[in-house]
Structure 1
Amino acid sequence: MGNPQAHVVLFPFPAQGHNSPFLSLATRLHHYRPDLTIALVSTPRHINSIRSSLPSDSRLHFHSLPFCPVDHGLPAGVESTSDLSDAQFITLFKATESLYQAFDDFISSLVSNALDSAPLCIVSDFFLGWTVAVARKHKAFHTTFLTMSAFGGAVLFSLRLNQPHRLTEKDQFPLPEYPEVIIDRSQVAQNILASDGTDEGSQFFKRQLMFLDNTNAVLVNTVEEFEQLGVGMLRKTLKFPIWPIGPPLAHAGQLSSSKSDEETEIMTFLDSQPPASVLYISFGSQNTIQSGQMMQLAQGLEGSGCAFIWVIRPPIGFDPKGEFKEEWLPHGFKHRIKQKHIGLLVHGWASQLKILSHVSIGAFLSHCGWNSILESMFYGVPIAAWPIGAEQFYNSMMVVESGVGIELARGVMDNSVPGKEKVKEVVDLVMGPNAKGMEIRKRAKKCRDVMNKAWNEEGGSSMKSLLEFFKLINI
């Protein structure tokens, strides 16, 4: 069962979308190596947030690193991206580099208290690449955990390093390392398009890539059979082991049994609908769209007549945690969908896994965050893609090219507003009894089978990757 003194330290970047993969990894590690001591390290408020989301019998240890947000130009009490605008992200990215000394002290204490032969492995987020220097100092094994898709990561690495979009005026261009991959300018996030390589964002990303060169291995939150191209791209350019260990959940039994009043309302609505008849709409834990886009989306949904659950928050330019105003939707929209029992608006947070696992869900209109893609594929739910930023554009590319979805819109600029007719067309296609929709649903079900087989203990690809990881770090 491995060395009883073995210690694994997990260090996720403080962002909602990064917590789930790291917690899932901790669950996997404990399941297959119950004797491991696993500690999760982060800033105090982020630690408290994660701890409060776990069951009382969790065996995960926690260690807080001292952090004062105002010392770095951040609002008081803000220690994760959930309370920041996109423009402030780079401030938090740079601020995390100040955690070096406190993390070094923590690892030093573990080494001092451990037996000489006790393995120590640090698993850090890609955006905390400086942890590799601490690992080298204390002769610990270092693994980088890529919480994004393999394809999305490979494309972002190339864009940041080479800036191929600045070398041509054409709208489409190949990636230098991967000439078979053609990127459209509309698939490059605005912050990357605006960068010249000397800006803070570019410099931070390049530092992470420099640190990545010194890691021992990379874990990727994906399934090899689902991302053969992306995993192959990473293996072509990164000269150390690449281990896909997705998807992010092992079974529906991981879903919490507790229910809030709002969750009860959601489940009641879903229970009242026919199988595969409801469109689930969510733009993730931090994203939203413009008010004009919101209006067109609502009109298109109503025009389609399709039942839907929409996790909705105020549009861009307004307090994302503020009160939602009905003026952002068509006049009388909320009353009509409630009266006809065809729609439900959810403000704030909803249990996405519970929704996607429900038999009445037929498709997912998603911003294509990687956690959302994997969760959707785990349950065989096809996707109507509306990528907004970062690597979401490349996740959308995969969705379309693998035939498990269709792209509705791209980005949140004024010129990317999908008209209500386009919304109706895509919803009808992905939900309706047409040839293309049926093929999309068929392919999504095949992906569900791939996801489920990945952790088969007798040859599943992710299971094999985890065992190879154990072997290399000697646990």
Structure 2
Amino acid sequence: MKKAELVFIPTPGISHLLSTVEVAKLLVDRDERLSITFLIMKLSSDPKIDRFINSVSTACNRIRFIDLPKDEPDPNQPNMFFFSLIEAQKHHVKDEVSKLVCQSESSPDSPTLSGFVLDMFCTPMIDVANEFGVPSYIFLTSGAASLGLQFYVQALHDEQKVDPTEFKGSDAELVMPCLANPLPAKVLPSPMLNKERLPFFLGLARRFRETKGIIINTFEELESHAIDSFSKGNTPPVYPVGPVLNLNRDGDRDEESDKRKDIKQWLDDQPLSSVVYLCFGSMGSFGVDQVKEIACGLEQSGHRFLWSLRKPPPKGKMELHPSDYSNPRDVLPEGFFDRTANIGKIIGWAPQTDILAHPSVGGFVSHCGWNSILESIWFGVPIAAWPLYAEQQFNAFMLIVELGFGVEIKMDYKSEFHSDGNENVISAGEIERGVRCLMELCDEKREKLKEMSGKGRKALEIGGSSFTWLGRFIQDLAYHLP
């Protein structure tokens, strides 16, 4: 293979960007002929993203980043927000790729444009890749079973003429090739049950089928059943190359270093495996009523806790980056801080991988974002599932039923990330029960999780399953070179 340039286009937001950059690092480390250009869509200024990008650019000269001009859609239309944003960026992407092609043609030493690697929401960019005569690949930041679900629902709709939105509120169970167990319809991702949003998600799966391959952030030993279900040949090839995790501190700054030290110091003072860590992702937050129930549930459980508490966006607005409370006492029950001073700590922003790696952490109350699930497996920390939005209910089902690695707080809980805080409130009693079940999880389940953690680490080593799949992807990329 001659020198090859890949164009990566991630969805805006730190959680998708981190794992996408990590897979780019794996590729350039593996093959010196590859270089990668990221085209970055920005919704608003985010210093954390800027610091991360600057750090990666400095460390690797074969990964570069280009900011696309802002064409912001209406933020008051959250259901269509990502789709309209990405569609509006197509002409900017075409302009930037044209410049790359011109540079390549003017210099014989420059790499040749060889393909686009697109986030799952960026399928409109397949049209741009086609204009340049290069193949498109998807990088899926969720798991293999989640991909199988998308293909299943799309085929159900297009081939069997079944309307998935009819499953809303249903007790039906769905049998699909990517799962070993029937899936309760109530844990289907909410966009698949919404008549306005369904067409766009069906469109994603249809366009996935047009690509030359799908890179997935998972590993064969974790999702063997789902990965085997793609072997029939009616979908593009899949490449499980994970777990792709951002375990270093790219873009760390002094302020965050100070917060890390403070959190580490507190964890250092706690007994082994005694702390339950609560965090609901980069966009997860709750209204005041739910915050009070969480606080009461934690206090009643009697377990030590480290709680990442984030402020919800203003009513009717969508924010990708919830802020921290200036004074958490304003939303917590009266006297809570004083009564729990010896067993609990409230934080805002959380250095999640540092926390999960700490030996005093024995459980994780999580929204079940795929990155968080992979991190919990990597560090062998069991999860109590409290999904919020997107495919997280499905991930919770995977974690608890398919894999047997966690416990449930409420698997079918739904609160879209653009909600105004009027979600259904889970009671303190339910939260207390979930925390107790998590922290008192039997040794057999903890040992099973620890074993899978070892398999995930081995998958990335030379000769491991993910190492091998990454090599196959590079071979297939060379085969499809224009």
Q: Shorter chain as normaliser: what TM range? A: 0.7 to 0.9
The change in CA–CA distance for 1:203 and 1:323 in structure 2 (over 3 A counts) is farther
Task: Decide whether the 8 Å contact of 1:164 with 1:175 is kept in 2.
Answer: no
State the distance in 1 between where 2:130 and 2:46 align: 25
Residue aligning to 2:459: 454
Distance 2:245 2:49 in 1: 17
Partner Cα separation in structure 1 for residue 240 and residue 383 of structure 2: 22
**3-state secondary structure, aligned to 2:59:** coil
Deviation at 1:63, TM superposition (A): 1.6
Q: C-alpha deviations, 1:80-101, integer Å up to 9, x for none?
A: xxxxx8x615223212112112
1 CA distance for matches of 2:292 and 2:233? 44
Deviation at 1:303, TM superposition (A): 1.6
Shift of 1:188: 3.2
Match for residue 343 of structure 1?
Answer: 344
1:271-310 superposed matches below 5 A? 271-310=268-307
Q: After superposition, give the CA deviation of every residue in 1:22-54 in whole Å (9 maximum; x if it has no partner).
A: 111121122212443211102255797534214
Name the % identity: 29
1:369 shift after superposition: 0.4
- The verdict on how the C-alpha distance between 1:291 and 1:167 changes in structure 2, with shifts beyond 3 A counting, is closer
Task: Please tell me whether the aligned partners of residues 298 and 435 of structure 2 are also in contact (alpha carbons under 8 angstroms).
Answer: yes
Alignment partner, residue 160 of structure 2: none
Structure 1 match to 2:475: 471
For 1:185 and 1:416, how far apart are their aligned partners in 2?
Answer: 19
Aligned partner of 1:110 among 69, 92, 100 = 100
Q: Could you tell me whether the CA contact under 8 Å between 1:294 and 1:328 is conserved in 2?
A: yes
- 1:187-266 mapped onto 2 (5 Å cutoff): 187-193=187-193, 195-196=194-195, 199=196, 201-236=197-232, 238-249=234-245, 259-266=256-263
Aligned length: 449
CA–CA distance in 2 between the matches of 1:179 and 1:268? 42
1:40 aligns to 2:38 (yes or no): yes
Q: Who is 2:14 aligned against?
A: 16
Amino acid at match of 2:219: V
Check whether the contact 1:217–1:241 (CA below 8 A) recurs between aligned residues.
Answer: yes
Counterpart of 2:132, as a letter, is: H
Aligned-partner Cα distance in 2 for 1:244–1:41:
24
Corresponding letter in the other structure for 1:131 = M
For residues 230 and 45 of structure 2, the distance between their equivalents in structure 1, rounded to whole angstroms, comes to: 30
Tell me, yes or no, if the aligned pair for 1:366 and 1:386 is still in contact at 8 Å. yes
- Contact 1:14–1:46 (CA under 8 A) maintained in structure 2: no
Report the AA paired with residue 105 of structure 1. Answer: D
- CA gap of 1:104–1:154, structure 2 versus 1, over 3 A, is same
Q: Give the alignment's TM-score, normalised by structure 1.
A: 0.85
Alignment match of 1:437 (pick from 437, 442, 466): 442
Distance 2:19 2:300 in 1: 37
AA at the equivalent of 1:399: L
CA RMSD of superposed structures (Å):
2.9
Q: Could you tell me which residue of structure 2 aligns to residue 137 of structure 1?
A: 131
**Could you tell me whether the CA contact under 8 Å between 2:177 and 2:226 is conserved in 1?**
no
Question: Which amino acid counterpart does residue 226 of structure 1 have in structure 2?
Answer: L
> Residue 128 of structure 2 aligns to which amino acid in structure 1?
V
1:428 and 2:427 aligned: no
| 302-311 or 147-156, which deviates more | 147-156
Please say if 1:386 is aligned against 2:390.
no
Aligned match of 1:57 in 35, 56, 59? 59
The structure-2 alpha-carbon separation of the partners of 1:110 and 1:104, relative to structure 1 and needing over 3 Å to count, comes to: same
TM-score after normalising by structure 2: 0.84
Please say if residues 399 and 406 of structure 2, whose CA atoms lie closer than 8 Å, have aligned partners that are also in contact: yes
Q: Take 1:14 and 1:295, find their aligned partners in 2: how far apart are those partners?
A: 32
Between stretches 47-56 and 90-99, larger displacement belongs to 47-56
